[in-house]
Chain A
């Protein structure tokens, strides 16, 4: 399935680097999401955008900065990360249907390693 794509698939960066993760959805959805997936832990929701407006920010450190220029693209800008930020970062999109009848579709993720 190529409905949600993410680049790069793997990223190694130093703590002083600045990098960006990119997500693109080809499903015509209205909402996009960033999640952090760490081993043996539930997926952690980081940011939600609905119709390009940020609707949720789950107390994420400011070293993570999202950007949603349009409903098909989502970026996560990374700056001065810590080694504990190493994880798989997942992007998802959904139609944003009301009443909870909303299904999220996920991209393959970016495996981030912070040295």
Chain B
């Protein structure tokens, strides 16, 4: 079964600092990749997704992510964070389940980002 690893459990940074959150997955075939964000008290929202094409994907709120197939990675970046970016960030990978053509969405454990004003 595919696994999704988010290396940082908690990241604390100041406003205007740059942010990069790591995400690696284990599946070797074609994958579809997502980053979701969960602001305090709110529901999971889609930040961006990659299906094919340009491996540098731009999402909402100034976020972008780069798919590097050789590294099985899909890292999330933002050049300059704001206090309102304080949230939990989840990487997710949609890939065929073992022995099946059905796709299954697997999530990482999440990274909590705290931005200090």
Give the B-binding residues of A (Cβ under 8 A).
1, 4, 40-43, 45, 55-56, 90, 92, 99-109
Contact = CB atoms under 8 A, between A and B. Distances in A.
A4 B44 CA distance: 11
Interface residues of B, number: 27
Grouping DSSP codes into helix (H, G, I), strand (E, B) and loop, the B interface class, with mixed when no group exceeds half, is: strand
Nearest to B105: A104
8 contacts: A40-B109, A42-B106, A43-B107, A90-B43, A90-B44, A100-B31, A100-B32, A100-B51
Contacts of A40: 9, 109-110
Q: Which of A4, A40, A43: most chain B Cβ within 10 A? A: A43
Grouping DSSP codes into helix (H, G, I), strand (E, B) and loop, the A interface class, with mixed when no group exceeds half, is: loop
Contacts of B108: 42
Interface in B1-51: 4, 9, 30-32, 34, 36, 42-46, 49, 51
Contact of A100 (B36, B42, B43, B95): B95
A45 B32 contact: no
A103 B46 contact: yes
A55 B9 contact: no
A45 B43 contact: no
Given A100-B94, A100-B103, A103-B46, A41 B109 contact: yes
B25 to A, nearest CB: 12
A42 B109 contact: yes
Interface of B: 4, 9, 30-32, 34, 36, 42-46, 49, 51, 90, 94-96, 102-110
A4 B90 CA distance: 19
B43 A109 contact: yes
A99 B94 CA distance: 10
A59 to B, nearest CB: 13
Contacts of A56: 102, 104
Given A90-B44, A100-B31, A100-B32, A42 B107 contact: yes
A56 B97 CA distance: 11
Nearest to B31: A100
Contacts of A108: 42-43
Contact of B105 (A45, A107, A109): A45
